[in-house]
Amino acid sequence: MPEHYIGRFAPSPTGPLHFGSLVCALGSYLDAVAHEGHWWVRMEDLDPPREMPGAAARILKSLDAHGLHGHGPVVWQSQRHGLYQSALDQLRQRGLVYPCTCTREQVRKAGGHRRDDCLGVRSLGERGTKEPQESYALRFACAGVTEKFSDIWQGEQTQPIGEDPILKRKDGLYAYQLAVVVDDIQQNVNCVVRGADLLDCTGVQRQLFLALGAEPPRFGHMPLVMNEGGQKLSKQNHAAPLDDATPSENLFQALRFLSFLPPAELVNEPPRQILSWASARWQRQQVDRRNRLLEQ
Ligand code: GLU
């Protein structure tokens, strides 16, 4: 485990960044820089059917316009399938991953675990190590465990894991839960700062770190920016894309959302100046952790 701080921002290219993503990118950048850490940008282009053409390039251009430069080359998940497969093989050899042909409904009815008559498991049993004939997912056996951890902003957490999560889907794609953990291990990430919408995934991810023989990082889940309808800003509910022509105003607003109050004249300065003002003043305890609307 490295002694110095290593963080990251890991967008999925399902659409352009919006103001809520800027808040997360900025929070994770400032937390890393204020701890004299390293900050990676990782493009989570793992799920082509959900991706929007051109979104990855647009996200990188937005980060650049806002002065949020990674401290190393951008890492692309689409180029790392070998790493994900070898982690799966490792887990499978240890009996922690099993093939499953069940639907979500069947798994739910079986209480989150494999069904005794799951075709995948049965055919494995019948034919030794042979793969099931029909398409199957690979699930991580961790349901029933209760994870406890302390989140930087959301405090003490108790998360019972209700269902064995899928690590490789029936369509052959590696699942987010697997890739995110394998990459965080491989990139030596020891502090994950991201949006509070991902808090519920954290228990499973911690279990996966441990199963892969790694110490889980520290987690900090940032407040979400909500819209008037009470939903978090997201690509799915068509949040407005960030306007790269006004990066200083955007950063200024994002800092205000995080409860930092930059002096008014800073809005006329380039992003570099705003980020340097903010990183010198970043205090975790100053961040208001409540999800809320952006006050104009
Ligand atoms: N790629 C994920 C997303 O855009 C975030 C992954 C993470 O930060 O753990 O929602």
Statement: residue 229 has pLDDT above 60: yes
In the prediction, which pLDDT does 17 show? 96
Q: For the chain, what are the domain ranges?
A: 94-146+160-174
- What is the phi-psi region of residue 214: left when phi exceeds 0, alpha when psi lies from -120 to 50, beta otherwise? beta
Which range among 51-60, 111-120, 131-140 shows the weakest confidence by mean pLDDT? Answer: 111-120
- Per-residue confidence at 237, pLDDT binned at 50, 70, 90? confident
Do the bridges between strand 97-100 and strand 137-140 make them parallel or antiparallel, or are there none, so unpaired? antiparallel
Element (H, E) at 193: strand 191-195
What average pLDDT does the structure give for the chain? Answer: 91
In the prediction, which pLDDT does 104 show? 78
Mutation pick for ligand 1 pocket among 44, 75, 235 (CB with most ligand atoms within 8 Å): 44
Minimum-distance ligand 1 atom for the alpha carbon of 197: 10
In the prediction, which pLDDT does 127 show? 43
C-alpha 122 – ligand 1 centre gap (Å): 34
Statement: residue 149 has pLDDT above 50: yes
Pocket of ligand 1 (CB under 6 A): 10-12, 44, 180, 194, 198
- Considering only CA atoms, which of 88, 232, 109 is closest in space to residue 173? 88
Minimum-distance ligand 1 atom for the alpha carbon of 184: 9
C-alpha 194 – ligand 1 centre gap (Å): 7
Query: Whose Cα sits closest to atom 6 in ligand 1?
Result: 10
Calculate what percentage of the chain has a pLDDT beyond 90.
77
Statement: residue 222 has pLDDT above 90: yes
- What is the phi-psi region of residue 144: left when phi exceeds 0, alpha when psi lies from -120 to 50, beta otherwise? left
In the prediction, which pLDDT does 233 show? 87
pLDDT, mean of residues 63-86:
98
pLDDT, mean of residues 61-66:
98
Minimum-distance ligand 1 atom for the alpha carbon of 44: 1
C-alpha 21 – ligand 1 centre gap (Å): 10
Q: What is the distance of C-alpha 130 from the center of its chain?
A: 34
In the prediction, which pLDDT does 128 show? 46
Which range among 124-133, 215-224, 275-284 shows the weakest confidence by mean pLDDT? Answer: 124-133
C-alpha 11 – ligand 1 centre gap (Å): 5
Mutation pick for ligand 1 pocket among 51, 198, 205, 224 (CB with most ligand atoms within 8 Å): 198
C-alpha 156 – ligand 1 centre gap (Å): 21
Record the tokens describing residue 161, joined without a space: 């894991």
Statement: residue 135 has pLDDT above 90: no
Q: What's the pLDDT tens digit per position in 37-48?
A: 999 999 999 999
More confident residue, 295 or 41: 41
C-alpha 24 – ligand 1 centre gap (Å): 10
pLDDT, mean of residues 21-35:
97
Q: What's the pLDDT tens digit per position in 82-132?
A: 999 999 999 999 989 988 888 878 877 877 766 565 655 544 544 445 565
Minimum-distance ligand 1 atom for the alpha carbon of 24: 8
Determine contact, residues 178/142, Cβ cutoff 8 Å. no
Model confidence, pTM = 0.92
Statement: residue 190 has pLDDT above 50: yes
